[in-house]
């Protein structure tokens, strides 16, 4: 690249965030049916976690035990082998692939739209488990710095989002990075499911804004608190209210905004 600074130009090497497609194919009904589910643009790495988290967030699986096998496709050329995943569901798991594919197409093209779709969307939001203890506000204020310190890819490229899961009592449980905010969250959820770890009394810390899809993923996983450096959307706030999630945005060193369920936070 050519860098311009202080009226001078230099030819320098630069570290760039990698962006590649990942196709996810579902095999269900005892290997009888194979169906492409979606293609997502992601940062390579933690692909199994990403796929597992995505299937869980979309309600295709309920536990990690619903998956019989997950693997990269061996029938594609070497250059693209790491960009196609096949996930075999157990024979007892029956899914309506056509409906799911339509849902992915709708969400990728125009998002959640229309009164009927909104009503159906909110019907699937279930209350999270109410936290058994309050979180000191000092801990919340320190979370952006802890997340930034753990963002290795962002440090080198400046083009990566991150999502961390933090215990109410203790530190960071896991951190995932990706060019896509939702991908980072799916990787985090998939990692926890694979570990068979609980989401109770945990905080999701986001490097950017809080859109509806991030609030929905937290609600599905049962994460009771979302903390973000950026702003929430109105639909994210509505989902947080419905699910009983404490949603916190614009977190800085000495200030933050609590949009829902402030009783989860100890402010004195």
Where in the sequence numbering do the catalytic residues fall? 110
Alpha carbon distance 265, 261 (integer Å) = 8
In total, the chain counts a number of residues equal to 268
Main-chain dihedrals φ then ψ at residue 50, nearest 5 degrees? -60, -50
Residue 64, CA atoms < 13 Å, CB-side half-sphere: 14
Ordered strands of the 84-89 beta sheet: 33-42, 20-28, 84-89, 67-72
Q: Which of 130, 200, 138 is nearest to 165 (CA)?
A: 200
Q: Which two tokens stand for residue 35?
A: 């169906």
Q: How far is CA 168 from CA 107, 137, 222, in A?
A: 33, 11, 14
Token pair of 93, please? 């798991």
Helix (H) or strand (E) holding 167: strand 161-167
Quickly tell me which residue has 């009983």 as its tokens.
244
């Amino acid at each position: 690249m050519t860098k311009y600074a202080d009226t001078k130009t230099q030819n320098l090497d630069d570290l760039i965030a990698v962006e590649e497609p990942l196709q996810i194919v579902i095999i269900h009904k005892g290997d009888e049916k194979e169906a492409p589910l979606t293609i997502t643009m992601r940062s390579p790495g933690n692909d199994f976690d990403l796929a597992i988290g995505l299937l869980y967030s979309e309600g295709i699986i309920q536990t990690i035990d619903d998956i019989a096998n997950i693997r990269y496709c061996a029938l594609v050329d070497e250059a693209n082998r790491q960009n196609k995943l096949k996930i075999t569901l157990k024979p007892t798991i029956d899914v309506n692939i056509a409906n799911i594919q339509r849902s992915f197409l709708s969400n990728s093209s125009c998002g959640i739209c229309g009164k009927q779709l909104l009503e159906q969307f909110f019907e699937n939001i279930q209350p999270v488990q109410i936290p058994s203890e309050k979180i000191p506000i000092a801990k919340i204020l320190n979370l952006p710095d802890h997340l930034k310190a753990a963002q290795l890819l962002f440090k080198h490229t400046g083009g990566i989002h991150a999502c961390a899961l933090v215990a109410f009592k203790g530190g960071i449980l896991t951190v995932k990075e990706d060019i896509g905010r939702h991908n980072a969250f799916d990787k985090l959820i998939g990692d926890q499911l694979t570990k068979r770890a609980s989401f109770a009394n945990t905080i999701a810390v986001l490097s950017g804004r809080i859109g509806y899809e991030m609030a929905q993923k937290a609600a599905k996983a049962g994460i009771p608190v979302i903390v973000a450096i950026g702003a929430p959307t109105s639909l994210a706030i509505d989902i947080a209210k419905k699910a009983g999630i404490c949603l916190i945005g614009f977190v800085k060193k000495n200030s933050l905004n609590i949009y829902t369920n402030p009783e989860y936070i100890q402010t004195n």
